[in-house]
């Protein structure tokens, strides 16, 4: 039977071509996802290796929540004194010990704008002459506050050259500096902007308290990492500043950081794989439909197989084997396509300044997994058509006209309706019990059942729906409108199966459209009602230089200035309980009286006016509801711990932190670079117009390059745009499922033309013109696309409309249905139908009437 299987695929290669392409697209997404994850992991692992090359590190002995772990990921510990490096350098086996001093900077490029690459950080490093991890490529080392050296990729992206003068925002002030050197950091930095500074300058700016997160230690030649760590650990208790420090090997530190990165990349992988599964699921509809139509057209072939002795199981195996072969070939092409997608993405990111690893990794596990996945999906999708083929009676081979007897759709309609009703009931229950812990599960199960129910019942629905959808075509396009309507109604199973792939894609698009519009409206509503400030200052780097705030504060046009400074810290999970390293939360500082005046919040208990140096205000949206006025909140950072009495409780989605303290408390807990100003709210001085205020503030912050000045409406729009930017990614990913759905329509129409060859010949013989025949096929395609689109949008919009009720407490409290966008989708469906019909319509029109009539 293997020979029969292979000959069947070869004989009907054209029929299976688009199925192979559908599998290839889905598998390409899977292969690309795994390859992208591996490439990103390799890139970031390389960054870790280059950023932490030392043999050992000295760090704080106490692990804390919040603070700076030194590498942005990994555990955070209390800081160690800079002077400890000199003492560690004297330990036996130590060749060199250097304090790791770094902090945020903004570099102005040759074009006068900030040097930025995507969301990569921009930071300054102390450049030590004897640092083995950095090598001077050209020029000289920076000396003094007016000189810098740039990492090679940063120098290239900035457009600057050695000897050029530019501005650098460091420590909150703008300095004019000269680029004196180019430095190799030991590997690609994924677009990070890296500026090398004189060690004294870096320490004054980034370690004003005289402490750093880590000290890099290099071993003497012949000393192993473990021996070095043991020697340092034994010596630390005897050193003046070593009592609160500990040592860790470079390998252990790098592995811990790389493990954290792998965990974060795991989320990205899961996110992308969801869409890959959707693509394969949509592709399975095409495969099932292709083989169902192929079985209809090859009934005599299967009957002859049965007549010459093939058993039902063998016929079943032939069809499933052909599907598996289609899946295997498609998967192989998909693996190659996935590599192409990742390479394209790497080139695009490189053009944006984010360099990833140059080699695209392709593991044996990924290749084998993709081949197996595509093959299994194809085989399973063809199982039902294969069963139909296996049940063909041998006597069918003797008939002149082959008729495929199909069961009534009544039972399928009843079953689909029952599943649909059950799903709708579950969704309604989730809306009514939105505060219960089971609401999410009810909503998820209900949405799945609704979609499955619609797909099961769609053949029954197609007969009725098509009469309404076809009415304009029947009235305006005679006789092709009536012919097209008859063709799509005559075989509702085929119509529903063809439209099923598009139904799934459009259901997702419709749901995302409603979520996007509702989320944007909800964010806009929350932000608009959260402040009455005249102007808002924000930063492209998410950190506003302190110098910019001071310059604005001194303007005569400015009245009230509200700084929102932020740090990450350990916060009590409940009253009086000391936080563990896992109890991290945000802490912001505000002056007394700001909440309720410039910043508007909903106070649920206590008073925001009671904020003082020994009290705190809690945002229950982030701290949780299990708090009361008078409870004790313990806040821990790398610098120290404070116990604060809870003076008030409030709710705010805009102030995205759990705890509010006074500026003096935050200064004590997070001095210098440990805290960041991410937003500043401004009010005009009495008698100053909005126009004059904006002009003065814009001029004051211009030297800081990254600071933007916004009025309240612009601030609201920016916050809403962040939601839209995220959803653009979702639309792009969902576009893959729509492309596959279009392939399904093309495939079905092409097979339909083959199936109706004699019918087409007769129509041509009785006077139907070529253009009329092509028009009939095109209208069929448009009707099928409209049916899938309309049903999908109704399902998606209906399910998404429940979300504002279920998630109102999380801030999604506005329901907005973007009717204009949905209307565009319907128009797009017509375009899709026309495009999908081009090849089948041309093929049908080119048929010779007599040859078509004579065909078997």
**Residue pLDDT, tens place only, 605-635:** 999 889 999 999 999 888 888 899 999 999 9
168-187 pLDDT per residue, tens: 988 778 899 999 999 988 76
pLDDT at 421 over 90: yes
What value does the mean pLDDT of the chain take? 82
For 699-727, letters b (16+ CB in 10 Å) and e give: ebbebbbbbebbebeebbbebbeebeeeb
- pLDDT for position 228: 93
What Cα–Cα distance (Å) separates residue 39 from each residue in 188, 266, 271, 470?
12, 13, 17, 50
CA atoms within 13 A on the CB side of 541: 27
80-115 pLDDT per residue, tens: 899 999 999 989 999 999 999 988 888 999 988 888
Please report which residue ranges of 104-217 form alpha helices under DSSP H: 152-158, 199-206
Q: Judge whether 114 and 138 are in contact, CB under 8 Å.
A: no
Sign, Cα dihedral of 648, 649, 652, 653: positive
The secondary structure of residue 237, as a DSSP letter, is G
- Tokens representing residue 137 in the block: 């490529």
Q: Judge whether 168 and 175 are in contact, CB under 8 Å.
A: yes
- pLDDT for position 98: 93
The pTM (predicted TM-score) of the whole model is: 0.71
The secondary structure of residue 335, as a DSSP letter, is H
Let me know if 387 is exposed, middle or buried by CB neighbors in 10 A (0-12, 13-18, 19+): middle
Nearest C-alpha neighbor of 796 from the set 854, 748, 731, 844: 731
Average pLDDT value for residue range 308-324:
84
- pLDDT for position 821: 83
* Helix, strand, coil percent content, the chain, rounded in steps of 5: 55, 15, 25
| DSSP H or E run through 464 | helix 439-476
* Residue 69: band (very low, low, confident or very high) from pLDDT cuts 50, 70, 90: very low
215: helix, strand or coil: strand
Residues 6+ apart with CB under 8 A from 713: none
- Centroid of chain to Cα 741: 23
* Residue 68: band (very low, low, confident or very high) from pLDDT cuts 50, 70, 90: very low
* CA–CA separation, 193 and 359 (whole Å): 23
CA atoms within 13 A on the CB side of 411: 3
Average pLDDT value for residue range 382-398:
75
* CA–CA separation, 661 and 726 (whole Å): 32
Q: How many Cβ atoms are within 10 Å of 548's Cβ, its own excluded?
A: 26
Q: Which residue has the tokens 């009010």?
A: 683
391-413 pLDDT per residue, tens: 777 765 555 444 555 566 788 88
Label the pairing between strands 707-710 and 56-60.
unpaired
Please compute Rg for the chain using Cα positions.
33
In terms of phi and psi (left: phi > 0; alpha: psi -120 to 50; beta: otherwise), the region of 395 is alpha
Label the pairing between strands 659-661 and 584-589.
parallel
* Residue 70: band (very low, low, confident or very high) from pLDDT cuts 50, 70, 90: very low
- pLDDT for position 626: 86
* CA–CA separation, 179 and 198 (whole Å): 12
* CA–CA separation, 853 and 856 (whole Å): 8
Helix 546-553 to helix 690-701 angle (10° resolution) is: 140
| DSSP H or E run through 103 | strand 102-107
pLDDT at 505 over 70: yes
151: helix, strand or coil: strand
- pLDDT for position 352: 58
pLDDT at 794 over 50: yes
* CA–CA separation, 146 and 174 (whole Å): 11
More confident site: 655 or 143 = 143
- pLDDT for position 501: 76
Average pLDDT value for residue range 204-233:
90
pLDDT at 444 over 50: yes
């Amino acid at each position: 039977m293997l020979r029969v299987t292979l000959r069947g695929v070869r004989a009907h290669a054209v029929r299976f071509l688009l199925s192979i392409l559908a599998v290839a697209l889905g598998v390409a997404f899977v292969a690309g996802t795994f390859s992208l994850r591996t490439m990103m992991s390799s890139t970031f692992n390389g960054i870790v290796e280059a950023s932490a090359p030392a043999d050992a590190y000295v760090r704080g002995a106490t692990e804390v929540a919040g603070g700076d772990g030194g590498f942005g990921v990994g555990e955070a510990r209390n800081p160690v004194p800079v002077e400890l490096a000199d003492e560690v350098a004297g330990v036996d086996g130590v060749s060199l010990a250097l304090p790791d001093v770094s902090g945020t900077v903004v570099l102005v490029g040759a074009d006068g704008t900030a040097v930025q690459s995507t969301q990569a950080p921009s930071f300054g490093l102390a450049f030590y002459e004897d640092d083995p991890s950095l090598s001077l490529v050209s020029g000289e080392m920076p000396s003094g506050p007016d000189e810098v050296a740039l990492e090679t990729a940063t120098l290239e992206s900035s457009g600057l050259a050695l000897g050029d003068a530019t501005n650098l925002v460091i420590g909150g002030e703008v300095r004019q500096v000269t680029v004196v050197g180019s430095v190799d950091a030991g590997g690609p930095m994924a677009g990070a902007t890296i500026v090398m500074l004189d060690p004294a300058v870096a320490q004054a700016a980034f370690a004003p308290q005289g402490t750093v997160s880590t000290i890099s230690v290099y071993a003497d030649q012949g000393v192993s990492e473990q021996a070095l760590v043991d020697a340092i650990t034994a010596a630390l208790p005897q050193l003046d500043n070593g009592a609160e420090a500990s040592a860790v090997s470079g390998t252990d530190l790098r592995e811990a950081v790389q493990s954290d990165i792998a965990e974060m990349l795991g989320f990205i992988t899961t996110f992308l794989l969801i869409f890959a599964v959707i693509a394969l699921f949509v592709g399975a509809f095409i495969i099932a439909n292709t083989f169902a139509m192929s079985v209809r057209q090859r009934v005599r072939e299967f009957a002859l197989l049965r007549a010459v002795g093939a058993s039902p199981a063998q016929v079943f195996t032939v069809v499933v084997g052909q599907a598996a072969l289609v899946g295997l070939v498609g998967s192989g092409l998909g693996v190659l396509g996935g590599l192409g997608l990742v390479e394209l993405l790497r080139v695009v990111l490189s053009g944006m300044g984010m360099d990833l690893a140059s080699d695209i990794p392709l593991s044996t596990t990924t290749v084998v997994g993709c081949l197996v996945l595509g093959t299994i999906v194809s085989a399973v999708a063809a199982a039902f058509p294969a069963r139909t083929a296996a049940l063909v009676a041998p006597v069918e081979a003797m008939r002149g006209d082959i008729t495929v007897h199909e069961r009534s759709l009544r039972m399928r309609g009843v079953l689909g309706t029952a599943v649909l009703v059950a799903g709708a009931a579950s969704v309604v229950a989730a809306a009514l019990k939105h505060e219960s812990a089971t609401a999410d599960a009810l909503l998820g199960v209900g949405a799945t059942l609704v979609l499955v129910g619609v797909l099961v019942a769609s053949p029954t629905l197609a007969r009725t729906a098509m009469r309404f959808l076809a009415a304009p075509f029947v009235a305006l396009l005679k006789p092709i409108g009536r012919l097209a309507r008859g063709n799509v109604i005559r075989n509702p199973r085929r119509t529903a199966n063809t439209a099923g792939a598009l139904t799934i894609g459009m259901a997702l698009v419709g749901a995302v459209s409603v979520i996007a519009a509702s989320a944007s409206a909800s964010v806009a509503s929350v932000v608009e009602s959260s402040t009455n400030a005249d102007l808002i200052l924000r930063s492209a780097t998410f950190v506003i230089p302190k110098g910019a705030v001071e310059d604005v504060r001194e303007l005569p046009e400015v009245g009230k200035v509200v700084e929102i400074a932020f740090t990450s810290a350990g916060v009590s999970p409940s009253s009086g309980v000391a936080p563990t390293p896992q109890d991290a939360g945000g802490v912001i500082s505000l002056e007394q009286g700001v909440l309720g005046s410039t910043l508007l919040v909903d106070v649920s208990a206590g008073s925001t006016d009671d904020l003082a140096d020994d009290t705190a205000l809690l945002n229950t949206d982030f701290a949780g509801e299990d708090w009361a006025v008078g409870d004790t909140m313990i806040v821990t950072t790398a610098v120290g711990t404070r116990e604060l009495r809870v003076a008030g409780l409030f709710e705010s989605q805009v102030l995205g932190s759990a705890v509010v303290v006074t500026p003096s408390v935050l200064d004590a807990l997070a001095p210098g670079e440990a805290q960041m100003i991410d937003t500043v709210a401004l009010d005009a001085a009495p008698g100053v117009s909005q126009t004059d205020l904006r002009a003065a503030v814009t001029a004051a912050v211009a030297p800081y390059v990254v600071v933007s000045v916004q009025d309240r409406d612009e601030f609201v729009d920016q916050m809403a745009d962040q939601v839209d930017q995220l959803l653009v990614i979702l639309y792009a990913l969902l576009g893959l499922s729509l492309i596959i759905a279009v392939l399904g329509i093309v495939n079905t129409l092409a097979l339909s033309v083959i199936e109706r060859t004699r019918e087409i010949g007769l129509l041509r013989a009785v006077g139907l013109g070529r253009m009329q025949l092509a028009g009939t096929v095109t209208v069929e395609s448009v009707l099928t696309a409209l049916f899938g689109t309309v049903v999908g949008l109704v399902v998606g919009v209906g399910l998404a409309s429940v979300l504002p009720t279920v998630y109102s407490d999380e801030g999604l409290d506005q329901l907005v249905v973007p009717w204009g966008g949905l209307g565009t989708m319907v128009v797009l469906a017509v375009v899709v139908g026309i495009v999908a019909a081009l090849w089948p319509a041309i093929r049908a029109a080119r048929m010779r009437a007599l040859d078509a009539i004579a065909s078997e």
